[in-house]
Amino acid sequence: MSIQTEFEQLSVDEKVQVVQDLWDRIAMSPDQLSIPDWHRKELLRRQKEWANNPDQGENWDDIKQALRDSL
């Protein structure tokens, strides 16, 4: 039986757990992940935008707190 066939036979909760387990294993070796060129370009664009407007935007800690408060 193929992995795909076995996967299809799992419940949704089991599928989510498999995906989470796979991601956890992948994340254990971040040095082996390649970063797409478009990600690098977008990061550079955002860094330049922030450098030109450092007072624009909101503090991440404030955003997290606001999200927690809204729950």
Q: Quote the domain boundaries for residue 44.
A: 35-71
**First-to-last CA distance in the chain?**
44
Say if residue 42 is in the same domain as residue 19: no
Q: Are residues 40 and 60 in the same domain?
A: yes
* pLDDT for position 19: 97
Tokens 């664009």 sit on residue: 45
For residues 26 and 39, state if they share a domain: no
Residue 21 and residue 7 in one domain: yes
Q: Write out pLDDT tens, residues 7-63.
A: 999 999 999 999 999 999 999 998 898 899 999 999 999 999 999 998 888 889 999
**Residue 48 and residue 24 share a domain:** no
In this prediction, residue 67 carries a pLDDT of 96
Same domain, 52 and 23: no
Question: Rounded to an integer, what distance in angstroms lies between the CA atom of residue 66 and that of residue 21?
Answer: 30
What tokens were used for 5? 């066939």
Residues 27, 15 within the same domain: yes
pTM, to two decimals: 0.50
Residue 15 sits in the same domain as residue 46: no
- 57 Cβ neighbours under 8 A, 6+ residues apart: 50
Q: How far is CA 29 from CA 19, 24, 39, in A?
A: 16, 9, 19
* Residue-level pLDDT at 56: 87
